[in-house]
Structures are given as structure tokens and as C-alpha cells.
Structure 1
Amino acid sequence: MGSSSLFAIVFLSWVFFISRTNQLQTYESQVLLQLRKHLEFPVPLDIWENYNGDLCNLASTPHMSITCQNNSVSELKIMGDKLGKVSEFYGSAVPNQTLSKSFSIDSFVTTLTRLTSLRVLGLVSLGIWGPLPDKIHRLYSLEVLDMSSNFMFGSIPPQISRLVKLHTLIFDGNFFNDTVPDWLDSLTNLTVLSLKNNRLKGQFPSSVCRIMTLTGIALSHNELSGNLPDMSTLSGLHLLDLRENHLDSELPSLPKGLTTGLLSKNSFSGKIPEQFGELYQLQHLDLSNNFLTGTPPDVLFSLPNISYLNLASNKLSGLLPNHLSCGDELGFVDISSNRLVGRLPSCLDTTSNNRIVKFGGNCLSIDTQHQHPESYCKEANMEKGRSRGEAIGVLVGVIGGSVIIMVLLALGLIILCRRYRSRGCMEQHTSPKIVQDNSTSGISSEFLANARIISQAAKLGSQGSIAGRVFPLEELEEATNNFDQSSFLGEGSIGKLYKGRLENGTYVAVRSLTLLRKYSIRNLKMRLDLLSKLRHPHLVSLLGHCIDGSGQDESTASRVFLVYEYVPNGNFRAHLSESCPENVLKWSDRLAVLIGVAKAVHFLHTGVIPVCFSNRLKTNNIFLDEHRIAKLSDYGMSIITEEIEKPEAKGDSSKSWHITKSEDDVYNFGFILLESLVGPIVSGKGEAFLLNEMASFGSQDGRRRIVDPIVLTTCSQESLSIVISITKKCTSPESSSRPSFEDVLWNLQYAAQVQATADADQKSDATSQNSQP
């Protein structure tokens, strides 16, 4: 063969190869463009529209990335702005968050499966809705599948079990409403299983316990019930998150390598297993809001790595020994709302500056203001000791008696209505005579009938629901030296604030409000009673009030004084300022404050019916107590001020209390996040300036320029990125694009966990270096 013929063959082969390669790239590019069309042209993919080059060469953004290998798409990640399952409290999706009715998830997945080399697929918050088709298994190379925060429902298709290379499966924040699949053990390489925030029901599948590769299981916020199996065989498991389900067994043995166990808000019963004392890697354990009994094991407090221990709101009883030892890393302990007696062990003494301990609602011989009498715990334990037959008999008797009473009341009401129909019976029914209800919740019949406002604590009949005290004006004048300037703390948009000292030595903060118009004392008192019952660890408690009618008309008020607990350690903004370097908070402490405030606002949005919006969220309305626990002030003022400025609403008064939307609180909280990142908003740097500056967060140089140096030197980049991302979402100009407070809280807690891990790693590295000769 001549050289010219050989050259021709090589040339033609080269041309054929190039054309074949280009054809492959063009084919996959067309598939990507079809996917964009299926997804109804989401904003993160706008860059694809007029791009003439190879899509594999596109620069990645926080919302879109494409990775290619061998001229095929191997990784595709798209994050949209549709919120998916906004919150379990809303019950349904926010309008306009799903793709249109013409969207076909079957056609979408059919197109998607043409990218046969995909190893990593992330399709988050894109409004995808419908049952996930079986044909998803055609992506046989998948190693990571994340389709969280969408609107998929029905069953998780069993054909996913054929994706044998899969090591990460995430379907968080959808509406899957069947059982958790029992074929998951077919995924022998699975390390992360996350199905949070769905509507999955049935029992926890025992097959999960056969996946030896698992490092993380997250099935929280579902409707799982029944037993939790023994999980001790999962030797590699580090995270177990089963919060807010209906699991009602005794606690099983857990893996010895577990670092985070979140089992709160279930119905677990029985004693805390002694085996938990062998979890030497455990850092974070939350068993709160269950029905656990007995005395907690001593060793639980002294585990070498435990930093967070929450046993609150159970039925734990007995005596904690004085010699109880606490681990060096233990920074937070909550044993409140149980039935513990005796003295508080010295290692749980709250005078320690580096450990937060909550112990209210027990029968401990300390801080009697927030403790039940010892007889309460003894009676509760005696009640627990009754035989099951007696308990059932009592229950049947109570139910039977209640039914009889309800029938008699109904008959009486019918008779009254017939007798007084000409006098307007229904009107009398909606405005009953004021009668005090002596139920444990402390809520009057009038309050329930008219306002229909009831906190979660009251619904549960909690003895912790404390009614606010009515203060005489003379007592407040004496406490504040007749509201002297020396007692003046400041003036905000809703009145002046004074520091006072009551006769018993207690310091209080007194806010003086001048009402813009005469207002019904009865109606105002109803609202003040509500505010005084809002009790949360991260709210500044309203201790009471004083209504001043100025003597002109005993039925109307012109001034009101609100008496709050005094929080001594200044506001959050002062702890972000470089003017007092010794008080400036490092990043982990700022996260703790933000988490506390987010929990408080989440409670105001979901723990009260109707909810409290417009909560004046600003850094100078967040105060820190002596242990640097965050407490939100000026919350719920719309209940008073807005109602004062307009006539009483007719009909359902609860509707008029929805003054602003929750998205407004989210937006304002976004600026609290922003100040936590960059420092206090100073003169000349208003909202518009900061929103423009947020573009700088996208690069390392930009972050170094705008982020507070204290943050940069004390944070991990991953933790910082999580908070920057949620800050951007909170301050979105479109209110419908902002996340729920539940989402905000989850992201902050995740950022704190990431930071804690980074701090522990850094400490471990430093220790190992110091130990070297």
C-alpha cells in the first residue's frame, strides 16, 4: 500500500472520529436543551439559551453545574427557586411553585435517561410533580440521586433497587405517601439515605439494618409508626435522624460509632438503655418530647464526646446523684419538664460559664419559681404505677362521663335556643358571660370562644403555661423611680423602655405604650393574656402588664405598661461590633444565637393559633442573657398595636390578626443573618447597599472584603457557605421565593453541625501535633 493511500485512510478515519465525537456532543447538548424545555426554562439555565460552545465547558454556578467525561455528561446539578414542600404546617404547596399542568414527569424522565453516563444527578427545587416513573432505573450508572424539595408523590419506585452503584439517595421535602421501601438492602453500596419531610407511613423497615455501608439515615418529619429495630449492627452509621414521627417502641440498641442521634417528638417509652453509655463517639443526642421513664443513666452525661444532650419533656423520674460527672465537651443539657427530684448535681450548676443547663418544670429543690412541688412528681409516679386495668377503667369512665356531659350540654343548648330564639341565641353563644375555666391550661372559656387562640403548651395542658400578673401602676412607678431618666434604657418605634427593680429585688424591663385611641380594656386584656402565655426559652417573657385608663372611662384604656424579664447581657448587635472586641462573638456563638431566634420565630409562626407575624426582627431586639442564650424581644406587638389603631374586627376576630405574611419575618430575619456575616449595618449602609454587596459572597476575594474578619477567622468555609445561601434566599425580592422558617432553622442547625465537626477536627489535629516529640 502506497504512502498516499495510507495517508488517505488515516485522514478519513480521523475525520470520521471527529464527526462522531461532535455528533455525540451535539446529541447530548440537544438532550440538555430538551430538559430545559421540560422544566419550563428555569432561571439557572438561562445561560444555556444562546450559548454556542460546548455545554461541558460552561462555568459552574451555585445553581447549575455540568461535568463531562469522555464527551458525555457525567454530572448534572440544577437548583431552582421553587420551594418544594414548604412546611408540614401548611399542609399543601404554595401556589405557583409546581411546574404547570402540562408538565409530564414521564416525558421528562424519558428524556433524562438518554444521558446514559450520568453518575451524579441533582434536581432540587424545580417544581417537578407527579409519581416518579419506574424508568428512572435506566440511569444504571447513577451513584448520587438527589431530587429533594420537589412535589413528587406516591411510591418510591422499586426499580431504583437496580441502581446497584447508588451510594447517595436523597428525596427530602417531597410528598411520597406510601411506606418506606423494604427493598433498600438491594442497594449494597448505599451510604446516605435521606427521605425527610415526606408523608411516608408504616413501620421502619428492618431491611435498612442490613445495609452495612450506611453512614447516615434521615427519615424525620414523616408518619412512621411502630417499633424501631435493633440498629447496633450498622457499625458505620454516624447520623440517625428520626425526629417527628410516631414511633412508639422502647429505644433499641444503637451503633457504637454513632455521633448524632435525633429521636425527638416520637412516642418512645420505657427506660433509656444502659447501652447508650457505650456510645463513646456520640456528640449530639436528642430524646426530647417522648414518654421515656426511669432515671437517666449517669454515664450519659459523661460520655467523652457528648456536647448536646436533650432529655426534655419526658417522664423521667428519680434522683440525679450529687457525684454525677459531666464530660468536658458537654455544652448544652436540657432535662426540663420531667419528674426529677432532689438537688441539681454540681456539674449541672448553671453558674458555669461554659455549659447551658435547662431544668425547669421538675421537682428539684432549686429555683422553686420554675419547679413543681415535690408532691406533683410523687403523685405523677404513683399514677404511673397504677395497673393497666385500673387505667383502662378510669379512661372508660372519663370518656363515658364526658359523653354524657356533652349530650346533656347539647340538649340544654337546644332547649335554650328554642326558648330564647326571639332574643338571638346564636349571638349569646358567640359572646358568653365571662367565666374563668379552671383547666390546667389556664385559658378562659371566653378566650377560647372568641379569639380561638391556643398555644401548643396550652393544648397539652402544660403546667408551664403561666398567666401574666396585673401590676398596680404605683408598683411600677416605685420600681422605676417614677420612670426617672436614670432608669431609661431606650426608645423604639413602640414606646419607651425602662429598667426597674421590684420590691422582691427582681429586675424587670418596663415598656410604656401610649395608645393612639381609646381601646376596650376587655379586648386589650385578652390580647395581653395571650402574649403572657407565650413561653419559649428564646423569648423574653412577658411577666405582666398594667392598663391605665386615666380615670376618665373605666371601660377604655389610654396607656399600657408591659413588664418583661430583664435580660442583662445587652443586645445581639452590640456583640457584633468591633467597638467592644472582648465581647464580639465568634462564628459558632453567632450560629447558636441565630438558631435560638429562629426557633422562637418558628414557635410564633406555628405554636399559636392564629400565628404571630410581624415580629420586629432586628439585631437590637435580640438580647443575650448571662449565659449568652438568645432571647427575642418585641415579638407579637402587632397583636396589640395594630388592633389598637383600628376598630374591633367583626366576625372571626382571628382573621384580623394575620396582619403580615410569614415571608416578611423571613425577609427581616435575612438581614439579621446578613449582619451576623458582615457586622452591624452602620450609617450609610442600608438594605439596598447590602443587597448589592451580597454579590461579593460568590468569590473568595469578595468574601474577604465584605465578611466580618472575626467570622472569617473562626468559621469553616462549608458552614459559611450554607448560611450565605440561606441568607440570599431569605432576602429574595420575591416573597414567594423565600423559605419557611422551618427550612431556615434546618439550614442553620446543619451549618452549626458542620462547624462543630470542623472545630473538633481542628482540635484533634492540634492535640496530635502537640503530642508529637
Structure 2
Amino acid sequence: MGRRSWLLMVVFLSLAFCLPMSHGLQTYQRQLLLQLKKHLEYPSFLDILESNNGDICNLSPTSHLSISCQDNVVTELRIMGDKLAKVSDFSGFAIPGQTLSETFSIDSFVTTLTRLTSLRVLSLVSLGIWGPLPDKIHRLYSLELLDLRSNFFFGSVPPQLSRLVKLNTLVLDGNYFNGTLPDWLDSLSNLETLCLKDNQFTGQFPSSICRITKLTDIVMSHNQLTGNLPDLSSLTSLLVLDLRENQLESDLPAMPKSLVTLLLSNNSISGKIPDQFGQLSELQHLDLSSNQLNGTPPSSLFSLPNISYLNLASNKMSGSFPEHLHCGSKLGFVDISSNKFSGGLPSCLDSVSDSKREVKFGGNCLSLESENQHKGPYCKEANVEEKKPRSIAVGVLAAGIAGTIIVLGLLAFGMIFFCRRYRTKRTFEQNIISKVVQDNTPVPTGVSSEVLANARFISQTAKLGTQGAPACRVFALEELKDATDNFDTSTFLGEGSSGKVYKGRLENGTYVAIRSLAMLKKHSIQNLKVRLDLVSRLQHPHLVGLLGHCIDGSGQDDFSINKVFLIYEYVPNGNYRAHLSETSPEKALKWSDRLAILIGVAKAVHFLHSGVIPGAFNNKLKTNNILLDEHGIPKLSDYGMSIITGDSEKREAKREAPKSCHRINLEDDVYNFGFILLESLVGPIVTGKGEAFLLNEMASFGSQDGRRKIVDPTVLTTCSQESLSILVSITSKCISPEPSTRPSFEDVLWNLQYAAQVQAMADADQRSDSTSQ
């Protein structure tokens, strides 16, 4: 090293030690983060980087930004944007989201990022980042978690990623990565979670994965993987395997005994279900639907000690079940529909015998007096497959039949689109028997403070949705007055059964909706806070988020509560009813748009009913309470009010049978949702029309002329008759005067999704016809 270099080093070290080390580090890292903000084209949620006197290590985390430090060095960086890579239209398709501009440079962005060399956690989600992931990402050699979900990365996964040997979590979901899966994944020997779903990966499932013995989660659904699955029994820590919606065509391999969730639906997996599956004692959720499986499933599959969900629908399985088939005590849902099962239905699969268990069995050859069982040649063929003798003559005949099937299969290959459509339609037309799942034990809808304090969230969606989310914030009344100019009339948005609503702007510039709620029933402040905290944790993409609350008490005692203010996220684009009222054809919601909104709301209600314990019922479902954001995405408001106000407890006190009350609560939401469906068909219902009048008008849907008179013209001009018929049918069931005949919300959601799929196919056919002309 020359004299000049030595002098430069001495000067540099002298300057460095003249400055406080921590201040120098903070300034340097802050400049890097501001540079990242520039690369990301200055999103407003990163303005917080310029506050707090430049102390980035002590910034309060938000839903968009979280920074953690150790010894004044940034070790965790989480940035969550709002530029979704793929926005579902709820009909099985995804439309592209919003990217950063053409001037964005992925290479410059990652170069800046890699200067934060001590990062252990890096999460960059929904930021609109696009381009191939550069090799230089390996310079972040300390990374333990890398999460790049919902961006626009494309190309192959860079080989240099294999040098991140400390990595235990790799999440690349919702991008456009393509090519085959890398064969070097076993270099990541510490990997526990591997999530690559919703990309465009092709080729086979790499056998190298079987050597990563620490893996607990493998999620690769919604790709284009083909070929065989290897023996996975060596993955002794594996809990979740999700390979849905691929093109896998192997037999089922051996699985590790640790598995809790196994999802392989919508592939081309063939052969029989191995007996080994009946020994997976930890298994809770098994979905093998929509494959090519044959034979009879192992009886032990139904009696696994922890199994709660078992879906074998839409396969080619046949044979009969043992008369005394035993079902596990936790088994709550079974779907064996659209197969070729014959014989009787065992008592443990009979909904009448066990009201806690929902069973779907339509489209088989069971000896039941039911319209949804096949008869004739279809069942004779199934019977032959089950009982054929093992003789050479019959073997030759079987070979001939198989050859014929192959030829027919080749002829049918060119019409696969229509075959899929027929299969879906057939499943729907089987009119599968369903019911509202009831519990034999009394379950009061009134929620005690003890239950609320120990509420257990069982939904994985809820679990993931609350990670990193700030807790329900307590606002001061003065903050709310400042945000609304002392609740000035200019900020008033409206009034409903749950109080007045105002639009406010917080000190940081965030717009919120503030609901003023008068408490008619006395609660202790502590009990009320527990209730509010529970509702704030009900997080779902189609629920208006509760951000915080303010309890206005007189201060005399713990029960002196005058008002409660609920602070929600502000949803700017009005309510669904107003959009149904549009008289301009250009602004009126098309049928496919209405279906998308209905599906979103149905998903939210289904989550409220079954995604959490205790469930939230009586959710004030009406078109006014469905809000639309700037992208037209629906969000349900006014949910969970019965939990906050304690009204459910009041109703419960008037009833002798808690079990009956629980069922009525479920059906109240189904009934009210039926009127939302009705308004989606006919337009806003005029106030004052009685329910009896509306129910009478449903009779008009029975004929084409009647529909033309009552159905909204925008619906008639933008819907397919098949899609419309599905909605008319499910609507009439929801608003049935007899509660016991109303469907479950799961069935409502299924029918809505099927209607959307049918409509999407009709729209695609129409576009194809117009293009060919």
C-alpha cells in the first residue's frame, strides 16, 4: 500500500473517530432508507423516515413500515405497500396490479438495499417492484427471513440466493417468477418455510427439497408444476404441504407422519390413496379433490384422531364403505361427492345421525332415495370396476375398454375447456344436501368477559393478518375533536342504527371514519375494552378495519360510560346501494362487478361466523353497510356490533335454548344477505315495501317475461342466463320463510363463486365470438 493510501486511511479514521459512532451509523442508514424511498417513488407512508429527528431505530411501527435495530444497526426492515401484483376478480382469474414506473431500476434498488449489510429480516410486500431479482441479493449474507410477496419479479430465482445459508423463511408468493424450480434449494439447510405460490414455475417438484429436514411449511400452489412427487417421508418436521392448482400427475407418495395440513386439490394425481395416509395421526386438514384418484379410500382415514376436514370430491373413487365405518370425534366436514361410491351411507356419514358433521355425498351411486345419486349405465360401470373377476377373458375386455377410453380421451383433449365447464356445472346441478352446522352442546351467543379475554383465533387468515399489525389504539377525545373540527357538521357522513359517523383527519394526515356510539347497557370499562380489542382483531381484506377507540366516561365509577367512539379506516368510494342506484349506464355496476362485490362480502361474513372463536353473528348486513374502496373492493362495516354493545347477551337472556339461539343468529345473517342478493338483482328496494311484498315478487323470477319486468336492466344486458339463474335460486333459498331450509354461508359463497365462473366463461365466449367475426 502506497504512502498516499496510508495517509487517506489515517485521515478517514481520524474523521470517523471524531464523530459519535452511533450518530454516524444512524445518519448513514437513514440516508440509505431515504434512497430506497426515492427508488420506490416517494410513497407517502415513508414520510415518517424524516420525523423523529432522524432516529430511525426508535420510529413507532406502522402498518406500512417497521424497523428494528440492534446496537444502532438496522437488523429488520419491513415495508408494506398497496400496489397488489395480482388483483383477483373473484371468478378464478387475476388481473394485473400496479407497478412502479418505467424509470424504476431493480438493480439500483437492490444495490442500495445490500448496503444494509446487517439485515436479518427483509420484507418488501406489495410495492410494485418489477424486474428480475439480481444475483447481488446474496450480499445480505445475514438474512434469516426474505419476504418479497405480491410484487412483479419475473425470470428465474437467482442461483446466488443459495449462499444465504442462514435463511429460515423464503416467501416469493404472488409474483411472476418462471422457469423450473431451482435444484440447489437443499443448500438452504436451515430453511423452515418455503412459500412460492401463485407464480409461473414449471417442471417437476425438485427432489432436493426432500433433503431440507427442517422444513415445516411448503407452499407452491397455483403454479404449473408437472410430473411425479418424490417420497416426502424424510421431511420429519413438515406440517403444511400445499400444492393445489398445479398439473402434478403422479401417484400419491409416502408422507411424513408430522403432517397437519395436506392440500393437493386440482391436479391430475391418480392411483389409490395409500394405506399409509390412514396412519397420519397429526393430520387435520386433507384436500385431495378434483384429481383422478380411484379405488376405495382407507377406512382409517375417516377415524384419524385429529382429522377435521376431509375432501375427496370429484375423483374416480368407487366401492362401498364398511357398514360400521368409524369417524373421528373431530371430523366436522366430509365431501365425497362426484365419485362412483356405491352401497349404503355409513351412520357416521349421515347428517341426521350426527348434526355436528357436514357431509356432501351427491353425484355418487349410493343406494339412497335421493335425486342427487346417479342411476343406470354410469353406476353399472362403477359396479363392474368394483367387482370385476380377475380372469384373463375379463382382463382382455378391460384392456379393450381401457383402450377405448384412451382413444376417447385423446378426442376429448381438444375440448377440455368445455369438459371442465360441464364437470363444474354437473357438480352444481347435483343439488348437494347441505345444512347449517350445529353443535350439540349449548353455545350461547352472549359473550362473557371471560370468554372474550381468552378468545382463541382459529383462522390462519386471522393469524397471518395480525402479524406485525399495531394493536387497537386508544385515542384521546381531544384528538377526535381536532380531527373533526369539534365534530363539525361539514364532517358528518351519516347516521344509522349504530350511531353517527364523521369523517376525520388525524394529525399524521390519515383519513378515518369515526362512529359515535351511545352505550345503552352498562358495561365495566375493562369489559368493554376487552370487547373492543376482540373486534379490532377481526382482520379480513373485506372488513373495514377498526383502528382504535375512545371511551368517554364521567369518571365517577368504572361503569359510567357516556359514549364510545370507534375509529375505522376511511373507505372513500361510497356504499354499494348508492352504486346500485346509478341511472347512467356508464356508471352502473355490471353483473360481473356485482358478483365480485357479493363474493367479497360473503367471504367476510363466512370468516366472521367460522374464522374465529367466539363467532360474530347478527352483523347488520345490508347494502348501505357495504363500502367500496378506490379500487372497487368491497369492505363490510358495522360488523361485530352485537359483541361491543352486548345486544347478543340481551337476546340470549330471552331464550330458553342457547343452541337454538345460536342457529337463529347464523340464519339471521343468511336471511339479511338474501336481501342484499335481491337488491343486486332488482336494484335498491324502496323503503316501506314490506318483506311479504318482496317475497311475493320473487315469484316473477320463474319466467323470462317476469324477469324482464323485475330485474335491473343493467343486469339483464350484462349477465348470462345461467349465471342469473344460479343467483335467483340461492336468493330464494336465503330469504325462505322457513329458517331450517336456508343454506349455510359456505353454500352461499360456493354458489356465488360458481355463478361468477359461469359468467366469466360466457364473457370469454362472447369476446372470442366478436374477435372471430
Structure 1: distance between partners of 2:327 and 2:589: 50
1:355 aligns with 2:357: yes
Aligned residue runs from structure 1 range 319-468, under 5 A = 319-351=320-352, 352-373=354-375, 375-380=377-382, 382=384, 387-388=398-399, 390-393=401-404, 396=407, 458-460=421-423, 463-464=426-427, 466=429
Aligned residue runs from structure 1 range 341-740, under 5 A = 341-351=342-352, 352-373=354-375, 375-380=377-382, 382=384, 387-388=398-399, 390-393=401-404, 396=407, 458-460=421-423, 463-464=426-427, 466=429, 658=591, 660=593, 664-665=597-598, 668-669=601-602, 672=605, 680=618, 687=625
Identity %: 53
Give the aligned length.
490
Shift of 1:41: 2.1
TM-superposition CA deviations, 1:402-440 (whole Å, max 9, x none)? 99xx9xxxxxxxxxxxxxxxxxxxxxxxxxxxxxxxxxx
CA contact (8 A) 2:122 2:147 kept: yes
Partner of 1:306: 307
With a CA cutoff of 8 Å and minimum separation of 6, indicate the structure with the bigger relative contact order: 2
Classify the secondary structure of the residue corresponding to 1:80: strand
Shift of 1:87: 3.8
CA contact (8 A) 1:85 1:175 kept: no
Aligned residue runs from structure 1 range 178-193, under 5 A = 178-193=179-194
Query: Which blocks of at least 5 consecutive residues in structure 2 are unaligned?
Result: 1-12, 387-394, 463-575, 610-614, 630-635, 650-745, 751-773
Classify the secondary structure of the residue corresponding to 2:83: coil
CA contact (8 A) 2:100 2:128 kept: yes
Structure 2: distance between partners of 1:340 and 1:183: 43
Distance change in 2, residues 1:461/1:182 (3 Å): same
Shift of 1:197: 0.6
Shift of 1:29: 0.5
Structure 1: distance between partners of 2:400 and 2:249: 20
Shift of 1:49: 3.7
CA contact (8 A) 2:318 2:382 kept: no
CA contact (8 A) 1:363 1:374 kept: no
Structure 2: distance between partners of 1:178 and 1:387: 40
Shift of 1:331: 1.1
CA contact (8 A) 1:678 1:708 kept: no
CA contact (8 A) 1:576 1:679 kept: no
TM-superposition CA deviations, 1:76-101 (whole Å, max 9, x none)? 01111111122496766435x11111
Shift of 1:684: 13
Shift of 1:345: 0.9
Partner of 1:94: 96
Structure 2: distance between partners of 1:402 and 1:252: 27
CA contact (8 A) 1:457 1:465 kept: no
Partner of 2:150: 149
Distance change in 2, residues 1:42/1:674 (3 Å): farther
CA contact (8 A) 1:43 1:80 kept: no
Structure 1: distance between partners of 2:50 and 2:625: 32
Partner of 2:128: 127
Partner of 1:283: 284
Distance change in 2, residues 1:75/1:146 (3 Å): same
Shift of 1:370: 1.2
Shift of 1:356: 1.1
Amino acid at match of 1:219: M
Distance change in 2, residues 1:590/1:225 (3 Å): closer
Structure 1: distance between partners of 2:205 and 2:622: 56
Distance change in 2, residues 1:327/1:79 (3 Å): same
Structure 2: distance between partners of 1:159 and 1:335: 46
TM-superposition CA deviations, 1:451-470 (whole Å, max 9, x none)? xxx9986433864464xxxx
TM-superposition CA deviations, 1:205-261 (whole Å, max 9, x none)? 000001111111001111000000000011110110011111001000000111111
Amino acid at match of 1:342: G
Amino acid at match of 2:203: G
Classify the secondary structure of the residue corresponding to 1:177: strand
TM-superposition CA deviations, 1:5-45 (whole Å, max 9, x none)? xxxxxxx9999375232111101100011111111122432
Distance change in 2, residues 1:707/1:62 (3 Å): farther
Shift of 1:335: 0.9
Structure 2: distance between partners of 1:671 and 1:92: 19
Classify the secondary structure of the residue corresponding to 1:200: strand
TM-superposition CA deviations, 1:608-644 (whole Å, max 9, x none)? xxxxxxxxxxxxxxxxxxxxxxxxxxxxxx9xxx9xx
Structure 1: distance between partners of 2:95 and 2:56: 33
Classify the secondary structure of the residue corresponding to 2:180: coil
Distance change in 2, residues 1:190/1:38 (3 Å): same
Shift of 1:72: 1.1
Classify the secondary structure of the residue corresponding to 2:267: coil
CA contact (8 A) 2:360 2:433 kept: no
CA contact (8 A) 1:458 1:465 kept: no
Structure 2: distance between partners of 1:588 and 1:320: 36
Structure 2: distance between partners of 1:267 and 1:568: 32
Shift of 1:359: 1.0
Amino acid at match of 2:189: T
CA contact (8 A) 1:44 1:79 kept: no
Bigger drift between 659-668 and 185-194 goes to 659-668
TM-score of the superposed pair, with normalisation by structure 1? 0.56
Shift of 1:577: 7.3
Partner of 2:57: 56
Partner of 1:241: 242
Distance change in 2, residues 1:684/1:156 (3 Å): closer
CA contact (8 A) 1:364 1:374 kept: no
Structure 1: distance between partners of 2:297 and 2:318: 8
Amino acid at match of 2:593: T
TM-superposition CA deviations, 1:165-206 (whole Å, max 9, x none)? 000000011111111111000001000001011111000000
CA contact (8 A) 1:340 1:362 kept: yes
Partner of 2:677: none
Shift of 1:366: 1.9
Distance change in 2, residues 1:260/1:590 (3 Å): closer
Query: Which blocks of at least 5 consecutive residues in structure 1 are unaligned?
Result: 1-11, 407-440, 442-453, 467-532, 539-566, 595-637, 650-654, 692-696, 711-744, 750-773
Partner of 2:270: 269
Distance change in 2, residues 1:249/1:261 (3 Å): same
CA contact (8 A) 1:577 1:680 kept: no
Classify the secondary structure of the residue corresponding to 1:318: strand
TM-score of the superposed pair, with normalisation by structure 2? 0.56
Structure 1: distance between partners of 2:321 and 2:647: 43
Shift of 1:358: 1.1
Shift of 1:665: 3.5
CA contact (8 A) 2:311 2:334 kept: yes
Distance change in 2, residues 1:458/1:656 (3 Å): farther
Distance change in 2, residues 1:134/1:367 (3 Å): farther
RMSD of the alignment, in Å?
4.8
Distance change in 2, residues 1:332/1:47 (3 Å): same
Partner of 1:766: none
1:232 aligns with 2:233: yes
Structure 2: distance between partners of 1:290 and 1:674: 27
Classify the secondary structure of the residue corresponding to 2:381: helix
